[in-house]
Amino acid sequence: MYQEKVREILSKQHKTQPTLIQKNTYDAIKNGASVVGLAKTGTGKTLAYALPVLENVKAGEANSAVIIAPTTELAVQIRHVINPFLHVLGLKGVSLVGAGNRKRQEENLKKRHPEVVVATPGRFFDFFSSGRIKTNQIHSLIIDEADDILEFAKKELLASLGQNLSSQAQILLFGATDSEITRDAESLFDRNFLLIDVRGEQTTKRKNYFLQVDNSHKIEFLQRMTKLDNFKGILFFDSNKTMMKFAGIFGHSKTKFEILANEFGKEKREAALHDLKVGKTKLLLATDLAARGLDIPDLTHVINFDIPSEVNTYLHRAGRTGRMNAEGYVVTLGNDHDFRDLKKLLAGEVELERVYFAGYKLSTTLAKKEKKAKNDDESAKNKKQKVTPKAKKKHKKRKNKNKGYHPHYLKGKK
């Protein structure tokens, strides 16, 4: 299916069999078709579009393949994924992201003449408008997380770009969810598209849970969750304001965590992701900045601090765990009313179950209350016993009370 050089790299990465989306889109992309490719998160979409495109790229043709991603984090991740293949195919690549040094990026475009460009929308159109990248150079335009980019950012600019490409150029739209935008791709880009949707054929080991808790006990429950067996997770918030407020409170606990926030610089954001990936921390606080396409090895849990307002938001967050058919757990926190709302929101998409703490694991079975009742009776009995003066002891003041863990980034954002 792939060229021998590409197969050798895949073999070294223990990817001996193509995933369903890779298998079903390869021939169409290789033959130059424009494609809308839809597959569940964590099923190999990046290599599905990248490998056939890279095999078609000719060395020396600058800006031949352009990959647009919604966030700096995803753009950097895509570049890391394709780098080994660029090397063996004798191709050069460059990343154009808003958080990076613009002057250095311009020098790379000017002197290296890279065949492959991975960019965020804003920085791409910055260089495009200045003439550093021209439409007649682009043979393949790939838009990753297409439903997100086309619906929220640069829709008109991307549509205009696509319409002005050569009729021989191909446009690839990939994502985990469809939308009115991806469904109307043909009118938007003024060309025919082949729809390849494998989501219905894909299975997953991901479990979707609801943990009932009131707001005053969420911190306590989250501390317990970080002590679950093999825990590594992302805690999602709907807004940056809520996340930073929670971080300020949670920072006084002894639970170590990192934050992924827009206002933090590129290096700090990369460090936060790196620490989670390598296991230096077990918990990352994030908004939907982290929900699009990020691949964190062995991420066991995705936690929703509040119930998401949209199905697609829930699905994209959920896609950070249970990737490549591994086990994963999505846990949403809230009250009984929230449970009913979320179940209604996700109807027809995922099966939602209530979950409870069972030691260092989560269980869908509520523990029996007999033992608790017995303990309560014993406690009540003890309370009735009179405490003699001898039993009373003065307690020394505890030094460093609630010293906790104070993340360095809460003291300064630089």
400 within some domain = no
341 within some domain = yes
Last residue of a domain, one of 151, 181, 201: 201
For residues 196 and 216, state if they share a domain: no
For residues 197 and 237, state if they share a domain: no
For residues 231 and 195, state if they share a domain: no
For residues 195 and 212, state if they share a domain: no
103 within some domain = yes
For residues 9 and 156, state if they share a domain: yes
For residues 251 and 305, state if they share a domain: yes
146 within some domain = yes
For residues 349 and 281, state if they share a domain: yes
410 within some domain = no
How confident is the model at residue 402, as a pLDDT? 46
For residues 152 and 15, state if they share a domain: yes
For residues 264 and 247, state if they share a domain: yes
How confident is the model at residue 208, as a pLDDT? 96
Last residue of a domain, one of 136, 166, 201: 201
For residues 14 and 110, state if they share a domain: yes
The Cβ-side half-sphere exposure at 221, using a 13 Å CA radius, reads 21
Torsion sign (Cα): 312, 313, 319, 321: negative
Instruction: State how far the Cα of 105 lies from the Cα of 127, in Å rounded to an integer.
Output: 9
**CB-based contacts of 373, cutoff 8 Å, min separation 6:** none
How many domains is the chain built from?
2
For residues 30 and 137, state if they share a domain: yes
Residue position matching structure tokens 């791709």: 185
Question: Using an 8 Å Cβ cutoff, are 254 and 222 in contact?
Answer: no
> Would you state the structure tokens that stand for residue 31, as one six-digit string?
């033959």
387 within some domain = no
385 within some domain = no
Structural domain including 291 reads: 206-366
Question: Using an 8 Å Cβ cutoff, are 99 and 24 in contact?
Answer: no
> Would you state the structure tokens that stand for residue 66, as one six-digit string?
């352009």
Mean pLDDT by 10 residues, the chain (414 residues): 96 94 98 96 94 97 96 91 97 91 93 96 94 96 83 76 95 88 88 94 90 92 92 94 92 89 82 91 88 83 94 90 90 96 93 91 78 55 54 51 49 50
For residues 186 and 216, state if they share a domain: no
How confident is the model at residue 360, as a pLDDT? 81
> Would you state the structure tokens that stand for residue 88, as one six-digit string?
């063996």
Closest CA to 21 of 200, 242, 183, 288: 200
Residue position matching structure tokens 């290096």: 267
Look up the CATH number of the domain holding residue 188: 3.40.50.300
Last residue of a domain, one of 186, 201, 216: 201
> Would you state the structure tokens that stand for residue 324, as one six-digit string?
């490549």
